[in-house]
Amino acid sequence: MGQSRLQLHQLLKMFCENVYFQPPENVQMKYPAIVYNRDYRYVAHADNRPYLNTKRYQVTVIDRDPDSEIPEKVADLPLCTFSRFFAVDYLNHDIYSLYF
């Protein structure tokens, strides 16, 4: 925890070549892909001051292959939980929450 976003990016690139952080809509993505963005920050307080401050990312694995191994690799990361799954335009989306 408390590591940089660039470290997370490099970690995700070990699972998939195409990794995107908050891609704009005009970006033509290649699949399989991992798309991630910050979605929450956990802050714990003591004596009215924050003492723990951890970013959470939403990580989406997008793949045409419904039996892809990439989602399992992401799911095995520490502090990662599965959120939901959906399919659109023959692309499978596995969504995770990851504290990093």
Measured distance between the N- and C-terminal CA atoms of the chain, rounded to whole angstroms: 5
HEC states along the chain?
Answer: CCCCHHHHHHHHHCCCCCEEECCCCCCCCCCCEEEEEEEEEEEEEECCEEEEEEEEEEEEEEECCCCCCHHHHHHCCCCEEEEEEEEECCEEEEEEEEEC
Domains of the chain: 5-99 (3.30.2000.30)
**Residue scoring higher pLDDT (50 or 3):** 50
Single pTM value for the model: 0.90
What pLDDT sits at residue 99?
A: 95
Residue percentage of the chain with pLDDT more than 70: 98
